[in-house]
């Protein structure tokens, strides 16, 4: 399937779906716990972003077109786009968000931490949070330096974001 077919010939839906190099993926609906964590993170990041007029935050399902020609359209669980890049938002997002959050589930966790993480790096996402509900662990992957940097937070440890450096939140707040 091409990106144009995906965007023009499929009905608008609230279901999560992605176009991964021409293959449409439609995982089952997330569990309630997954959505509760996604909403909590979106509220935390959204409140911070709004307070400092830093940009916009959205939650899935919203299509993020990373590569029109290669038919790569993803739907991060939560994402942030900085004010100076808001022009990439039209009916879909046409380019990489500055920060994406993926809530890992048993069914999609491997895909999220391998293929999707690699696509985010390749296409210019600056930071990705991988949220593991079972382990109550947040891994922050920073793609902005010469080398990929990874930090983790559990319990009362701070989630340190290079994209939102003034954001003060602990893993316990996310999972509490």
- pLDDT at res. 56: 98
CB 16 within 8 A of CB 26: yes
Q: How far is CA 113 from CA 47, 108, 118, in A?
A: 27, 9, 8
Domain spanning 3-175: CATH 3.90.1570.10: yes
pTM of the model: 0.93
pLDDT tens for each residue of 40-92 = 999 999 999 999 999 999 999 999 999 999 999 999 999 999 999 999 999 99
Q: Note the pLDDT of residue 174.
A: 96
Average pLDDT for the chain: 94
Helices and strands in the chain: count of H runs, count of E runs: 5, 11
What is the rounded CA–CA span in Å between residue 134 and residue 104? 9
Q: What is the pLDDT of residue 27?
A: 83
Q: What is the pLDDT of residue 153?
A: 97
| pLDDT at site 87 | 98
- What integer pLDDT is reported at residue 14 of this predicted model? 78
Looking at residue 26, its pLDDT comes to 86
How many angstroms separate the first and last alpha carbons of the chain? Answer: 41
Coil vs helix vs strand at 117: helix
Q: What are the residues facing 132 on neighbouring strands?
A: 104, 137
Predicted confidence (pLDDT) at residue 10 exceeds the cutoff of 80: no
106 pLDDT higher than 90: no
């Amino acid at each position: 399937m091409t990106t144009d077919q995906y965007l023009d010939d499929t009905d608008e839906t609230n279901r999560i779906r992605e176009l991964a190099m021409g293959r449409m993926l439609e995982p089952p609906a997330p569990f309630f716990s997954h959505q509760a964590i996604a909403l909590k993170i979106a509220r935390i990041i959204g409140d911070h972003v709004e307070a400092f007029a830093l940009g916009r935050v959205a939650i899935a399902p919203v299509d993020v077109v990373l590569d029109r020609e290669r038919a790569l359209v993803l739907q991060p669980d939560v994402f942030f786009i900085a004010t100076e890049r808001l022009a990439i938002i039209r009916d879909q997002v046409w380019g990489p968000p500055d920060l994406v959050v993926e809530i890992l589930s048993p069914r999609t966790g491997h895909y999220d931490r391998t293929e999707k993480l690699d696509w985010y790096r390749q296409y210019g996402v600056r930071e990705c949070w991988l949220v593991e509900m079972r382990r109550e662990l947040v891994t922050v992957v920073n793609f902005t330096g010469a080398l990929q940097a990874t930090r983790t937070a559990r319990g009362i440890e701070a989630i340190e974001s290079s994209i939102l450096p003034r954001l003060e939140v602990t893993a316990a707040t996310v999972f509490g």
